[in-house]
Amino acid sequence: MGKQFFVLVAAVVVCAVAVVELRHRNRQLYVQLQALQSERDAHVTEWGQLLLEEGAWSQHRRIEATARSRLGMDLPDPRQIVVIRSQSAGGRQ
Amino acid sequence: MRVRHAGVAHPVRTWLVLGFLLSVLGLLATRAVYLQIFNADYLQSQGKQRHSRVLKDNSHRGMILDRFGAPLAVSTPVDSVWAHPATLAENRKDWGRLGALLGLSARELRELLARHEGREFMYLRRHVPPELAEKVMALGIDGVALQREYRRYYPLGPVAGHALGFTNVDDQGQEGIELAYDDWLRAVPGQRRVLRDLHGNTVELVESMVLPVPGKDLQVSLDRRIQYLAYRELKAAVERHRARAGSAVVLDARSGEVLALVNEPDFNPNNRTNLKSQVFRNRAVTDVFEPGSTLKPFTIAAALESGQFNARSMIDTSGGALTVNGRTIHDTHAYAALTVAGVIEKSSNVGAAKIALALNKRDHYSLLRRAGFGSSTGIRLPGEVFGQLRSPESWVPIEQATIAFGYGISATPLQLARAYAMLANGGVSLPVTMLRQTGAPVGERVLTERTTREVRAMLELAVSAEGTGAGAQVPDYRVAGKTGTVRKLTSQGYSEDKYVAWFAGIAPASNPRLVMVVAVDEPRSGGYFGGQVAAPVFSRVMAGALRLLDIPADAPRGAPSRPVLLVKNVGSAHAEPAQ
């Protein structure tokens, strides 16, 4: 009887300590989770902004304007284009 | 000893005191039981109301990508400033500083607080720039906090405005693809319960009730390069001809994918403040017009399929006029007689009407119906209309005659594009889609391969130097297409001065890949014929699109006469602007 009682008391104490420990771990992990989530958010934000930036720089309107004005490029007139037919391209048609 | 003696001496007093104490104890116990057991729910909920809060956890909406993965719509996080009304109402002294930053006067703030009295949440200002959000938080006012929200950006701006649509301030799709595929793109906001202290700081997370789920990315069939070309050329044409509106659609003939879809007037989806429904109407799917001469190829196709005609059958079109049911059909130029191919090339209304009148009206109707007139294209864009195609039971001869050249039937530019894609695709009609397709599409055969080949050959004549659509020619490529110039139907009958200029075409004609339809509504200067207004748009967009898609040239051409000199020209063109 006495022995059983002490075993149970010990079990209760172990459980109580485990609960405290787990609760502590839970909080620690939650803090970690939040840190990682905010880090992820920051990366997602940055990625989105980079995508938008890329989109803005690579806008065809902009590229066309730059090519025409700064680089002096222009679409060649059809008369200036020489079409070279390869054997395979001819064969496919 | 004395005390005990005294107690014994006054038993009544002892019992009185004891009884009094016990009864008070009993009273306390009853109260405790009442609070703990009978009132527990109420009290607990009250306690929670004071400390526990459910916070919304927004997540980002899926991106819309073009067929090569370039972003067309991206959600990026922004902050919104919100307040706990009761807490902020007490901090009257901070109103001035807060209002100055957010642009709210004391009166506006008071009204806002009055409206949200008793609530737990109210927005002060949504979607603020990050610097402003930081400044607001630096004030450290109790009851004011930030909420993470998402704002949608469209890198292409007005170029793809109608096709993509836009979202509202809550990131819900309102128009275009954003609305059509909202379920797929939409993010499910999460919810979590937290404990807060008196100052509104989050102390502990109690539970995550719903985990936030970000929206899924959507890859659409648009090619942003072709989309831009179509946008640029349509806009230029609408401006040059001072037209009321315009639409252009480019389809991949083999898959039914929409490569470009543009409308004029356009709008910038990044700027939601000045949106009017007039401007964001996706005319390519919501506006119907009579297709006019662009419908003739289908009349001819019906004629060829019937076996009563072949490409060389002669049609008597003498006088350039034909009277049916007391109404007269005219040709712009009178020809004595035309072959069936000539009816297309010269765009003869009389010829088309005569052919149609010889056909079984049920077969004629069935062909138009299966080509997609009067029914959905399957595109799933909001507001799509199906146009008008009446059932053959009600057709009288004049109706069958006018339908032959595209009056008395109406269609959207997208429907017409789908019908031409059927001609381009060897007679198999495919559903039109805005999504990038990977598998082989399932279609329905409408015409025999042979008929479509013959019709395409006639359509090539129509864009030859002698045809009405010469303006649609593309250097190095063979092109098939048909112009249309339609008088607009007004409340006083057909208008004398309001037209719709059409062009529908296929390229390259030898091995069709692309289909494009251009419709310009009410051109007011520089001509109004489809060949003058719409065909050049087709030519310029196709020239670019065929090159961008690396489609081999199929037009025979002679060797350049002086290639060496031409190469030199390229060099000098480069040097010129540097002067």
- B492 and B382 within one domain: yes
Test mutation, A52, A58, A75, A86, chain B, max B CBs within 10 A: A52
- B308 and B440 within one domain: yes
Test mutation, A83, A87, A92, chain B, max B CBs within 10 A: A83
Phi, psi of B196 (to 5 degrees): -125, 150
Residue B158 has pLDDT above 70, yes or no: yes
Do A72 and B573 make contact, defined as CB atoms within 8 angstroms?
yes
- B333 and B305 within one domain: yes
Average the pLDDT over each of A40-49, A74-83, B209-218 and give the range with the smallest value.
Answer: A74-83
Chain B interface includes A27 (CB < 8 A): yes
pLDDT in tens, B446-461: 999 999 999 999 999 8
Q: Which of B447, B414, B100 is nearest to B288 (CA)?
A: B414
Which residues are bridge partners to B78 per DSSP? B149
Residue B362 has pLDDT above 80, yes or no: yes
Phi, psi of B488 (to 5 degrees): -80, 140
Do B77 and A45 make contact, defined as CB atoms within 8 angstroms?
yes
Chain B interface includes A92 (CB < 8 A): yes
pLDDT in tens, B189-228: 888 888 776 666 666 777 778 888 888 999 999 999 999 9
Q: Which of B495, B500, B307, B290 is nearest to B389 (CA)?
A: B290
Residue A84 has pLDDT above 80, yes or no: no
Do A61 and B510 make contact, defined as CB atoms within 8 angstroms?
no
Contacts of B189 (CB under 8 A, 6+ apart): B56, B57, B58, B59, B210, B212
Test mutation, B228, B266, B568, chain A, max A CBs within 10 A: B228
Give the CATH number of the domain where residue B143 resides: 3.90.1310.10
A contacts of B574 (beta carbons < 8 Å): 72-73
Chain B interface includes A72 (CB < 8 A): yes
CA distance B373 to B302: 14
Chain B interface includes A38 (CB < 8 A): no
Q: Which of B150, B185, B219 is the last residue of a domain?
A: B219
Q: Determine what percent of chain B is predicted with pLDDT higher than 70.
A: 93
B contacts of A92 (beta carbons < 8 Å): 552
* Candidates B148, B157, B560; nearest CB to A79: B560
B contacts of A69 (beta carbons < 8 Å): 577
Angle (CA) B82 B88 B90, round 5°: 175
In this prediction, residues A41-52 reach a mean pLDDT of 83
Told to judge if B221 belongs to the known catalytic residues of this protein, a careful annotator would answer no
B569: tokens are 């020209």
Do B228 and A41 make contact, defined as CB atoms within 8 angstroms?
no
CA distance B214 to A12: 43
Type of residue numbered B287: D
Contacts of A11 (CB under 8 A, 6+ apart): none
Provide the domain count of chain A.
Answer: 1
Domain span at B254: 224-548
For chain B, the helix, strand and coil percentages under 3-state DSSP, each to the nearest 5: 40, 25, 35
For residues B285 and B385, the answer to whether their CB atoms sit within 8 Å is yes
Provide the domain count of chain B.
Answer: 2
pLDDT in tens, B33-82: 988 888 888 888 877 777 777 878 888 889 999 999 888 998 888 888 88
More confidently predicted of B420 and B39? B420
In a domain, B71, yes or no: yes
Cis preceding-peptide flag for A76 (omega within 30 of 0): no
Q: How many CB atoms lie within 10 A of CB B106?
A: 12
Chain B interface includes A6 (CB < 8 A): no
pLDDT, residue B516, reads 96
Q: Which of B219, B240, B274 is the last residue of a domain?
A: B219
Residue A83 has pLDDT above 50, yes or no: yes
Give the CATH number of the domain where residue B504 resides: 3.40.710.10
Q: Which of B219, B252, B283 is the last residue of a domain?
A: B219
In a domain, B14, yes or no: no
In a domain, B193, yes or no: yes
- B513 and B464 within one domain: yes
Do A51 and B71 make contact, defined as CB atoms within 8 angstroms?
yes
Do A72 and B159 make contact, defined as CB atoms within 8 angstroms?
no
CA distance A14 to A71: 78
Between chain A and chain B, the number of residue pairs with CB atoms below 8 A apart is 77
Do A78 and B74 make contact, defined as CB atoms within 8 angstroms?
no
Q: Determine what percent of chain B is predicted with pLDDT higher than 90.
A: 39
pTM for the full model?
0.80
Test mutation, A44, A54, A57, chain B, max B CBs within 10 A: A44
Q: How many CB atoms lie within 10 A of CB A56?
A: 13
Residue B11 has pLDDT above 60, yes or no: yes
Domain span at A80: 2-88
In a domain, B563, yes or no: no
Helix extents (H) in B307-462 = 340-345, 349-357, 361-370, 397-404, 413-424, 449-462
Do A93 and B510 make contact, defined as CB atoms within 8 angstroms?
yes
- B305 and B212 within one domain: no
Residue B71 parent element (H or E) = strand B71-83
Residue B21 has pLDDT above 90, yes or no: yes
Do B566 and A80 make contact, defined as CB atoms within 8 angstroms?
yes
Q: Which residue of B has its CA nearest to A76?
A: B570
pLDDT in tens, A21-36: 998 898 888 888 888 9
Do B228 and A89 make contact, defined as CB atoms within 8 angstroms?
no
Distance from CA of B108 to the nearest CA of A (A): 33
Chain B interface includes A67 (CB < 8 A): no
* Average pLDDT of the residues of chain B: 86
B contacts of A60 (beta carbons < 8 Å): 224-225, 228-229
Q: Which of B534, B558, B32 is nearest to B233 (CA)?
A: B534
Chain B interface includes A7 (CB < 8 A): no
In this prediction, residues B403-424 reach a mean pLDDT of 93
- B280 and B187 within one domain: no
- B253 and B194 within one domain: no
Residue B114 has pLDDT above 80, yes or no: yes
- B284 and B323 within one domain: yes
Q: Which residue of B has its CA nearest to A48?
A: B76
- B473 and B338 within one domain: yes
In a domain, A93, yes or no: no
For residues B435 and B378, the answer to whether their CB atoms sit within 8 Å is no
Do B70 and A58 make contact, defined as CB atoms within 8 angstroms?
yes
In this prediction, residues B301-315 reach a mean pLDDT of 90
Q: How many CB atoms lie within 10 A of CB A70?
A: 9
B contacts of A78 (beta carbons < 8 Å): 475-476
In a domain, A41, yes or no: yes
Confidence of residue B559 (pLDDT cuts 50, 70, 90): low
pLDDT in tens, B533-551: 999 999 999 999 998 998 9
A contacts of B153 (beta carbons < 8 Å): 48, 52
pLDDT in tens, B73-104: 988 888 888 888 877 878 778 888 888 888 88
Test mutation, B222, B233, B570, chain A, max A CBs within 10 A: B570
- B232 and B213 within one domain: no
- B190 and B269 within one domain: no
Chain B interface includes A81 (CB < 8 A): yes
In a domain, B27, yes or no: no
For residues B66 and B60, the answer to whether their CB atoms sit within 8 Å is no
Do A78 and B153 make contact, defined as CB atoms within 8 angstroms?
no
**Among the options B80, B293, B347, B429, which is catalytic?**
B293
In a domain, A78, yes or no: yes
In this prediction, residues B508-528 reach a mean pLDDT of 92
Contacts of B361 (CB under 8 A, 6+ apart): B392, B395, B400
More confidently predicted of B292 and A86? B292
For residues B104 and B55, the answer to whether their CB atoms sit within 8 Å is no
Distance from CA of A8 to the nearest CA of B (A): 30
- B419 and B379 within one domain: yes
A86: tokens are 């390869």
